[in-house]
Amino acid sequence: MPRIEYAGRCHCGAIGCRYTTARSPADWSVHACQCRFCRSHDALSTSDPDGQLQIFVNDAVMLQRYRFALMTADFLLCRNCGVYTAAVIESDAGRFGLINTNVLSPAPERIAVVAPISYEDENASERMIRREQRWTPVTEVPWQ
What is the binding site for Zn ion (CB under 5 A)?
Answer: 10, 12, 14, 78, 80-81
Nearest residue (CB) to Zn ion, 58 versus 91: 58
Q: Which residues contact 139 (CB under 8 A, 6 or more apart)?
A: 52, 53, 54
Q: What count of other Cβ atoms lies within 10 Å of the Cβ of residue 34?
A: 12
∠ CA 66-105-12, rounded to 5°: 50
Burial class (CB in 10 A: 0-12, 13-18, 19+), 60: exposed
Whole-number minimum distance, CB 28 to Zn ion, in Å? Answer: 24
Q: Which residue is nearest to Zn ion (CB)?
A: 78
Strand partners, 33: 117
Give 1 or 61: the residue with its C-beta nearer to Zn ion: 61
Q: Could you tell me which residues are beta bridge partners of residue 63?
A: 78
Question: Toward Zn ion, which CB reaches closer, 13 or 137?
Answer: 13
For residue 143, the minimal CB distance to Zn ion (Å) is 17
| CB-nearer residue toward Zn ion: 53 or 76 | 76
How far apart are CB 93 and Zn ion at their closest, in Å? Answer: 30
Nearest to 98 by CA among 41, 13, 14: 41
At closest approach, how far in Å is the CB of 59 from Zn ion?
Answer: 8
Q: Of the two residues 59 and 132, which places its CB atom closer to Zn ion in the complex?
A: 59
* Residue type at 17 in one-letter notation: C
- Min. distance of Cβ 43 from Zn ion in angstroms? 15
